[in-house]
Amino acid sequence: MQWRSSKELREMFLSYFEGKGSRRYASFPLVPDDPTLLFTVAGMVPFKPYFLGLKTPDVTRATTAQKCIRTNDIDNVGRTARHHTFFEMLGNFSFGDYFKKEAIPWAWTFLTECVGLDPDRLYATIYLDDDEAHGFWRSLIGLPEERIFRLGDDDNFWAAGPTGPCGPCSEIIYDQGPAFSCGKQDCGVGCDCDRYLEIWNLVFMQYSRDESGKLTPLPKQNIDTGMGLERLCSVVQKVSTNFETDLFRPVIDGACAIAGIRYGSSRKGDLASRVVSDHLRASAFMIADGVLPSNDGPGYVLRRIIRRSIRYGRLAGIDRPFLTDLLPAVDEIMGEQYPELLEHRSTIEQVISMEEQRFGRTLAQGTDLLEDEIKNLPGDGGKLSGEVAFVLYDTYGFPLELTEEICAEAGVTVGREEFDEAMNRQRERARAASKQVGAVISKNVYTDLADREGATPFDGYDMTEENAVVAAIISGDEIIGAARVGDEVGVVLSRTPFYAERGGQVGDKGTLTAPGFRFEIEDTVYPSGDMILHRGRVTEGELTVGMEALASVDAERRDDIRRHHTATHLLHEALTRVLGSHVRQAGSLVTPTFLRFDYNHFAPLSTEELFEIERMIYGQVLANLPVDTHVASYAEARKLGAKALFEEKYGDVVRVLSIPGYSTELCGGTHVRATGEIGIVKIIRDEGIGSGIRRINAVAGKIALGLFHSATQTLRQLSSILGGDMNSLAERAEELLDERKILERKNQDLALRSMLAGIGTRMRGAVKVDGLSLITDVIEDIPKDLLRQLGDSIKQADPNAVILLAATDKEQVSLIGMATEAAISRGVHAGNLVKEVASLMGGSGGGKPATGQAGSKNPGGLREAMAAARGILEKQIKR
């Protein structure tokens, strides 16, 4: 068997099945167009609607090298030879075309003749009663009976869910030899060790299972196969683990070089470098596909694996940001096959760098917590609770090994059993909440109707009204024949000028009319595939299937939407030019009254940047540039430099929006004919909505004009109130603020003098506690700063003073505690004193022995809490 690179093996596979009449598809995105899945977890996911009968495929044979993400066994990554978060699945698929008779020998031929695997080291598993597959393995391949194994449902039967398409599997197993064996006497095919390695799984989708569990043969049988490229590489490149293949080793070597260690020299270093290599690949691909760190969904998974990379880097001795130093190795390995890595390199670097900086602070907090826990353990040594270790793992990202290492340095052990129990509880919660477990896409009234009616022709790019025939009426989950006045229904037309919500643009509103009939359309959507549904209410006459009516879009509302949509494209390009090429759309909303644009950037926009962005947009409006649209293949559009927006799912044919000399993007929405039609564009605000994600809200056209009118009127009113003209408003406001500050300072000086004049009275009211003077007082409507000054004056007047002062302001209580040096020497701690007093009224606080402060939102309990100060002070002195 000849050594081959991962690039060679990937291309060999795809070319082989192209030669069998399969269409080669580029890898589909990691975030699928499937609400039941967080990620693309297998090569079949993009084709799931075909296997489930929800859509009709354009071809009957396909092949892919599909990028996938799985995180259900994330804790095993790096510990075993085969577990990964990101991997590539090589697959060949048949949609009602070839079946077992072709799939089995094609797989065998590829492995033995193309790749060169030793046929004598290959085995096959089949489902218990799949005699057909058994016969093909015997008759077509000549595989000996003793190398064919029948296994049960858990191993060799595949299903999309509890009901629906399913079928038996046949796995191809490679014997890696005794060196990989677990050594047990019964070690054989099906053993969990690495000797008998599953290479390829052939799924024969031939049944449909109903709710009772009954299997019925499908009218069209399908093939779905999956072979992990990483596993194939490990066999062909003759290495013991996937991590030693050319898909990982350059990244591992880079991580080891940064850590100053040698791969293979220690278990800890090997584990850390493996985790880093796996997680960095996954992170780069996720960001390239538009996923950004967040606190839920795919973004949460991304944040988690970036943080795991960082903490394992720390475990290997890397105490600085380092992940971006390894990205060139990832690009070298994968960039040719997946150009999105190179295209979005700047974004990938910025996102990872920001997460490294952010998580570095979190790790520091976790280290402080751990050190405090160790200090609080009784006596020398001791045992750290496994629950504490789990909090460090779950909240601060500490792997158990790192916690154990720090504890070992202090002679402390860690409760592993408690940690494992907490981890198991979390895993159970994750499994229960997982969107990937048992997830299926099921048929409904809309999918059935879409199968029957197909795509609705959309004519709204060129017109806002046209005659159409009512093809279907839907009420709830039923298809009905007619609807009367007051009925709220959905309508499918033979064709339509109404734009259905997609790509961030809201759906059109309008009417459907005929003599004696009127239907008010409130929204337009795609309920399934490319079928358009018009939702609304019958307000006059009767709506019936087959009737002809005039479909009229609210043209004024459509114009407002068009202005905001084209303005969104102007904004996107301006952001890129002003802030940098890393800027990328993370979401958008286009409505008739405003536009919202989410993008990745890591700092608030300065006033100068906002002005420059608006200036650039308005420059294109004044130039009145033509807005051109044309249809092209996706590949042609990308060659033209068209930006593909993350939230869109593109087919082979796309619509290209071009503003000559300014921007080119893929977009299926409705737009103005020239930029001058947009009119005014005004950014209302720029705000952060997540880690590295910002949101701009803006208005255009007559909405923006209305905003300017309102702002101008407000300025005129302020000019009248404050005096002067609009140009001097800022100066006049500053003058008034300065005057206010002067008055506030005078008021504070007067209040302080008044309080200082009463120091003697306060000191005469002191309570003597074992030779110390406890001085307490409650003062209403006074700033905290004056409390501190009053306390300092009391300290100067009485060297044995312990002071507790409170100020009330509406529903807030502020406490200041102070202690002199003499009091501190007796055991007094002002910070703990105010903390305990505040806790009696539901507040919190703290501080140092000499000074502390606290607060509460319960002024009703203040007097009682202050009265308890004496008892607290007595306890401090006794201790």
Count CA atoms closer than 13 A to 40's CA, side-chain side: 26
How do residues 102-118 score in pLDDT, each as one tens digit? Answer: 999 999 999 999 999 99
Question: Which is more confidently placed, 428 or 297?
Answer: 297
CATH number belonging to the domain at 445-553, selected among 3.40.50.300, 2.40.30.130, 3.40.50.1820, 3.40.50.2300:
2.40.30.130
What is the rounded average pLDDT for all residues in the chain? 89
What pLDDT sits at residue 792? 85
How do residues 511-529 score in pLDDT, each as one tens digit? Answer: 999 999 999 999 999 998 8
Binned at pLDDT 50, 70 and 90, residue 437 comes out as very low
Binned at pLDDT 50, 70 and 90, residue 662 comes out as very high
Mean pLDDT of 681-687: 94
Report the candidate in 648, 650, 657 with the shortest Cα–Cα distance to residue 626. Answer: 657
Binned at pLDDT 50, 70 and 90, residue 439 comes out as very low
CATH number belonging to the domain at 6-240, selected among 3.30.930.10, 3.30.70.260, 3.40.720.10, 3.40.50.2000:
3.30.930.10
**All structural domains of the chain with their residue ranges:** 6-240, 248-360, 377-436, 445-553, 558-709, 723-757, 765-878
What pLDDT sits at residue 755? 65
Query: What is the per-residue burial (b if ≥16 Cβ within 10 Å, else e) of 187-220?
Result: bebeeeebbbbbbbbbbbbbbbbeeeeeeeebee
Q: How far apart are CA 839 and CA 865, in angstroms?
A: 9
Question: Which is more confidently placed, 740 or 618?
Answer: 618
How do residues 518-564 score in pLDDT, each as one tens digit? Answer: 999 999 999 988 899 999 999 999 999 999 999 999 999 999 999 99
Res 646 pLDDT > 60: no
Burial class (CB in 10 A: 0-12, 13-18, 19+), 462: exposed
Q: Which CATH class is domain 558-709?
A: alpha beta
Distances, alpha carbon 180 to alpha carbons 78, 188, 193, 241, 826, in Å:
17, 11, 7, 10, 70
Q: How far apart are CA 34 and CA 38, in angstroms?
A: 8
Binned at pLDDT 50, 70 and 90, residue 741 comes out as confident
Res 438 pLDDT > 50: no
Q: Where are the alpha helices (DSSP H) in 376-526?
A: 386-396, 400-409, 416-433, 445-453
What pLDDT sits at residue 752? 65
Predicted TM-score (pTM) of this structure: 0.70
What pLDDT sits at residue 730? 80
Concatenating the DSSP letter of every residue in 733-783 gives HHHHHHHHHHHHHHHHHHHHHHHHHTHHHHHHTPEEETTEEEEEEEEES--
Q: How far apart are CA 745 and CA 747, in angstroms?
A: 5
How do residues 807-819 score in pLDDT, each as one tens digit? Answer: 887 778 889 999 9
Distances, alpha carbon 210 to alpha carbons 40, 207, 474, 542, 861, in Å:
26, 10, 26, 39, 65
How do residues 292-344 score in pLDDT, each as one tens digit? Answer: 887 778 888 898 899 889 989 988 999 899 999 999 999 999 999 999 999 88
Same fold, 6-240 and 558-709: no
The sign of the dihedral angle between the CA atoms of 238, 239, 244, 247 is: positive
- Do 478 and 517 touch, CB atoms closer than 8 A? no
Place of tokens 């919660």: 429
In CATH, the architecture of 765-878 is: Roll (3.10)
How do residues 628-645 score in pLDDT, each as one tens digit? Answer: 998 888 778 777 777 765
How do residues 577-612 score in pLDDT, each as one tens digit? Answer: 999 877 888 889 999 999 999 988 878 999 999 999
Mean pLDDT of 286-296: 84
